[in-house]
Amino acid sequence: MKRTLITGAAAAAVLAIAAPAMAQSAADVYKDRTVTILVGYGAGGTYGQTALLLSQHLGKFIPGNPTVIVQHMPGAGGIKATNYAYNVMPKAGHNLLVPPEMSVVSQLLRPNRVKYVTTGFTWLGTVFGANQVMIVRRDTGIRSIDDLKKKEIIVASTGTGSPTYLVPAMMNGILKTKFKVVTGYKGSAGTSLSVEQGETFGMSNSWVSWKANRPQWFQGKSDDFAVKLTQVGFTKEPDLQDLPLLTELATNPDDKAAAAMLSTASVIGRGLVLPPGAPKNLVAPLRAAFDKTVADAAFKADAEKRKLPVVPIGGAELQKTITDAIATMSPTAIAKAKQYVFGQKVHKRGK
């Protein structure tokens, strides 16, 4: 009897010691701790601004009320940070990623360079999505897509995984435009500045970022600094109903499907994910914290000050949308998109 009692006690002790961290409550995990939000871009664009906004409000809705800070890891249009998050980022739940809006596109088009699987992340939600809008300086003389088929225009890009590269490259393939895309700029602030200073003459950026950071370029006047050429998304921006979607400009099914691939960016937008392997019992409280954050009046007021929209999508819905998009993507469309993007020479800044 005594031996049985000792064995039972020992077994209980072993089980207690072996209990994984994931058995801790969310409050235990986050109390007196710091949560780090990783961003694959510089601080000046809407990625950095959204991450900073979340860092100032998210902690009060996470059980245990942790401190939340932002870390930047620019490179390759966000791929560098996303690869790091998938393979190296600590998985205890104290580290989150703001995923690039082109995460799905990069996974499908760059399987050798991308070291992540988009569906392997746990999506907590997105603050907002936005269409990409391709623009050129008005003083280039370009006024239409047809003009772009006759004249080479140098445009700025952060890297080949970024929409600043993928959008003009896809336009070259689908519409036969003549963009010369130069990579190596840092964030949307760096690319926009290069256009403003005349080092380059156009770029693609989210409509939200354009309105927040360069509203003076788009006053609706005949002498505006910039000319809008097309937008990339599933539906048109409410205030850009006269600007055609890239899918509308494409003339055959394969090209339309290749263009639609880029539209996943408008859904992913600016949000948060957990890396693979994070404790599953943290998913529900973190998704709930995200939902409460984006619904909070103080959060919305601060977003408005930064000229950032709040049009959220919940984590579970977003996870399903991304999973379905990848599962139904046409192999023919992927092959066509690869042909368009990788069949062009990459020009690097300063070389």
pLDDT above 80: residue 146: yes
Confidence of residue 250 (pLDDT cuts 50, 70, 90): very high
Confidence of residue 15 (pLDDT cuts 50, 70, 90): very low
Using a pLDDT cut of 70, give the percent of the chain over it. 93
User: Distance between CA 47 and CA 312 in Å, rounded?
Assistant: 15
pLDDT at 16: 42
Using a pLDDT cut of 90, give the percent of the chain over it. 69
DSSP one-letter string for 199-256: SS-EEEEEHHHHHHH-GGG-SSSTT-SEEEEEEESSS--TT-TTSPBHHHH--SHHHH
pLDDT at 325: 81
pLDDT at 76: 80
Backbone angles phi, psi at 222, to 5 degrees: -70, -20
The total of other beta-carbon atoms located within 10 Å of residue 104's CB is 24
Residue-wise pLDDT tens digits, 16-37: 444 444 468 999 999 999 999 9
pLDDT at 112: 86
| Residue 241 half-sphere exposure toward CB, CA atoms < 13 A | 2
**CA dihedral for 63, 69, 73, 79, sign (positive or negative):** positive
User: Distance between CA 267 and CA 27 in Å, rounded?
Assistant: 31
Residue-wise pLDDT tens digits, 69-128: 999 999 887 899 999 999 999 999 999 999 999 899 989 998 888 999 999 999 999 999
pLDDT above 50: residue 6: no
pTM for the whole structure: 0.77
At how many degrees (to 10) do helices 187-197 and 46-57 cross?
A: 140
User: Distance between CA 254 and CA 336 in Å, rounded?
Assistant: 7
Residue-wise pLDDT tens digits, 163-214: 899 999 999 999 999 999 999 998 788 999 999 999 999 999 999 889 988 9
User: Distance between CA 213 and CA 211 in Å, rounded?
Assistant: 6
Three-state secondary structure call for residue 159: coil
DSSP one-letter string for 89-158: S--SSSEEEE--TTHHHHHHH-TTT----GGGSEEEEEEE---EEEEEEGGG---SHHHHTTS-EEEE-S
DSSP one-letter string for 245-304: BHHHH--SHHHHHHHHHHTTHHHH-EEEEEPTT--GGGHHHHHHHHHHHHH-HHHHHHHH
pLDDT above 60: residue 4: no
Contact 176, 127 (CB under 8 A): no
Average pLDDT for the chain: 90
